[in-house]
Structure 1
Amino acid sequence: MIGRRSLIAAAGGALAMPAALRAQPLFSRPIRFVIGFGAGGAGDITVRMLAPHMQAELGQSIVVDNRPGAGGIISAEFVARSAPDGHTMYLLTTSNMAAPAFFRTIPFDVTKDFAPVGRMVWYDHVIAVNPQLPVRDLTELVAYAKAHPNQLNIASISVGNAQHLGVELFRAMAQVPMTTVTYRSTPELANALATGEVQVAGELLAPLLPQVQAGRIRLLAVTAPSRFPSLPAVPTSAEAGMPDYIVRSWNAIVFPANTPRPQVEAMNRAIRRALAVPEIRTRLIELGGLPEPSSPEELATMIPQEVAAWGRMAQLAGVQKQ
């Protein structure tokens, strides 16, 4: 009897093994969330705001890993070459869409080397100035720059990202003799603009808001089709004198290509539930973001379309590939 019971118990354990394996969590260790920008930028602000809610949904901690430089190429390559096991993900942004327009060679294919998870937030760009500059809209800025050739510096962060391309497009469309100056991070750019080290900047609205609210920076225009909800007094680029100048950014999450579908779906749910928290939505809008999550399929369709669109913008701006 003892022998039979032992055999039955062993058989039962063998039958139970697959169920136990299936019950194992999708994420077995901390998840590395790689960002291609320094701390304090729009993407960094968004990620750090959403991470606690996503952690609660996933049952695993999220470690933010800032890796600025080269328009996001270094950080994106790191993730593209990481193991597709769901424990390394990347904050994909419009800078990754713009990079092919700036660089002759990129060590990965943004349309093939990632598994799309979902878009998170749209971010409008702005043209901002030091408050001492005697201009109140884009028309006055263009006139002043032409009257003072090569005396104004216009700032962006990094080289080869969406903000940089937005600045070069502005210079080309306005035909103004300004000098582009790049900074490693948004806080550095904001401080340079506020102190007068540079007079003009093209940047995302979100990370500049504290300086704007403190009166250290003045916004001339939001470069979007409509005014931003929390800044009804700031005109659009069309209203400020440049109707064809529209530049917007977004961010999303991707895994390395071939990451298992269950982990993709779990992370997409985590994004949606975090963005659905009323306090998060309200705070993001206050900070200059417009929450709008997507499915993995929608993001997969959007990526090649955005690469093509930013490529056309680069041609208009006269960007020469490096």
Structure 2
Amino acid sequence: MKPTYRIGAPHRRDLLKAAFSSAALGLVAGAASAQQTWPARPIRWILGFAPGGAGDITARLLAPRLHNLLGQPVLIENRPSAGGIVAAEAVARAEPDGHVLLLVTSTSPTAAAFYRALPFDTERDFAPVGMISTFGHALLAAATSPWRNLAEVIAAAKARPGSVNLGSISVGTAQHFAAERFKLMAGIRAETITYRSTPDLLNAIATGDVHLGFETLPPVIGQIGPGGRVKALAISSEERFPALMEIPTVTEAGLPGYVAESWNGIQAPARTPGAVVERLNRELNHLLALPDVRDRLLTLGLVPQPSDPRALQERLSRETAIYRRVMEEAGIAQQ
């Protein structure tokens, strides 16, 4: 309902209208001035992960290049926590002036689905800037496994329900949801075993403690192939990964329609000026198109994903709904 104003006489209404017009012009001038001077100081880019992972490496690859384009340093702050909640809360509560950014990842929709309550709203408390990259999950088996392809795994699991188990890292992660979704779509009964870290999971796969493991491509890309302890039976992306074209997608390998991708991007606090978001998006897309940046991301197992802000917001909303449905159908309890 629109607000109403009690105006006494016509001449008073005219005076108010003039006053409002002057105020509006002042606000526009002020906003324009703020946008022209942005950034006025170093930009803090907050990450919900420890140094050394794919997200951290990606941010440190882009930060100095953003510095060159924007004229102010981009400082990386690592604030690791479950679900990236600490980092996200810090950005949600920051001044919306474009000087604090978040490396948002697929942990955002998984956290929204997995936790009963968060100290922020994953969609309303942030302004989307744009995607950085996507990366599929590798479906891994021991290098010595007798299974040659994913179809054989599914056939074995259906022939002897409960005889095949699956592995992922912690409950509530994108990898865990990928394993649960795989069971639902393949129509198999299998136990999912979770591990605290990627090295623990890879060791379990290599030794045969779990028959099929789900992990994002970046931390395992160097261990797939001749001489490695694990082999990839499929990649969960819509398309084959450019550097591993010999490995089929899950759809090609026998489970049509299965896609599970992790991703990262940039968000700012809600109400960040539109001109600032537009400038950040433009510079980010410019960097992702540079050959050296693209090649480095591909080496890490990441596919550059230039986009507009809407694409990031739509992905976030879509995946939150998917993860909530997977939780319900798989019987996973919220925390």
TM range (shorter): 0.7 to 0.9
Please say if 1:171 is aligned against 2:144: no
Aligned to 2:257: 244
Aligned to 1:272: 285
- Shifted more, 140-149 versus 24-33: the winner is 140-149
Of 104, 110, 132, 1:98 maps to 110
State the shift of 1:230 in Å: 1.9
Query: Does the CA-based 8 Å contact 2:123-2:317 persist in structure 1?
Result: yes
Query: Does the CA-based 8 Å contact 1:70-1:158 persist in structure 2?
Result: no
Q: 1:126 to 1:57 in 2, by over 3 A?
A: same
Aligned to 2:148: 136
Work out the percentage of aligned pairs sharing the same amino acid: 45
The 1-side partners of 2:145 and 2:107 are apart by 29
Please say if 1:58 is aligned against 2:38: no
Q: 1:216 to 1:87 in 2, by over 3 A?
A: farther
State the shift of 1:59 in Å: 1.7
Letter in 2 for 1:34: I
Of 39, 42, 48, 1:30 maps to 42
The 2-side partners of 1:300 and 1:198 are apart by 35
Of 155, 160, 170, 2:167 maps to 155
Query: Does the CA-based 8 Å contact 1:96-1:161 persist in structure 2?
Result: no
Letter in 1 for 2:136: D
Query: Does the CA-based 8 Å contact 1:90-1:253 persist in structure 2?
Result: yes
Query: Does the CA-based 8 Å contact 2:43-2:74 persist in structure 1?
Result: yes
- Unmatched runs of 5 consecutive residues or more in structure 2: 1-29
State the shift of 1:228 in Å: 1.8
Please say if 1:47 is aligned against 2:59: yes
Equivalenced residues, count = 302
Aligned to 1:7: none
Of 210, 213, 216, 1:201 maps to 213
Q: Deviations over 1:146-184 (max 9, x none)?
A: 788777664333332322211222234442433321324
Aligned to 1:8: none
Query: Does the CA-based 8 Å contact 1:173-1:317 persist in structure 2?
Result: no
Helix, strand or coil: the match of 1:34? Answer: strand
Query: Does the CA-based 8 Å contact 1:169-1:314 persist in structure 2?
Result: no
Of 55, 68, 84, 1:72 maps to 84
State the shift of 1:73 in Å: 2.4
1:258-297 map, 5 Å = 258-297=271-310
Helix, strand or coil: the match of 1:230? Answer: helix
The 2-side partners of 1:29 and 1:191 are apart by 45
State the shift of 1:42 in Å: 2.9
Q: 1:161 to 1:262 in 2, by over 3 A?
A: same
Helix, strand or coil: the match of 2:97? Answer: coil
State the shift of 1:83 in Å: 2.4
Helix, strand or coil: the match of 2:107? Answer: helix
Q: 1:164 to 1:34 in 2, by over 3 A?
A: farther
Helix, strand or coil: the match of 2:262? Answer: strand
Query: Does the CA-based 8 Å contact 1:153-1:181 persist in structure 2?
Result: no
The 1-side partners of 2:171 and 2:299 are apart by 28
Of 133, 151, 155, 1:121 maps to 133
**TM-score, structure 1 normalization:** 0.81
The 2-side partners of 1:144 and 1:74 are apart by 42
Please say if 1:224 is aligned against 2:254: no
The 2-side partners of 1:59 and 1:37 are apart by 26
Aligned to 1:13: none
State the shift of 1:135 in Å: 1.9
State the shift of 1:191 in Å: 5.4
- Unmatched runs of 5 consecutive residues or more in structure 1: 1-17
Q: 1:257 to 1:216 in 2, by over 3 A?
A: same
The 1-side partners of 2:315 and 2:101 are apart by 18
Query: Does the CA-based 8 Å contact 2:112-2:122 persist in structure 1?
Result: no
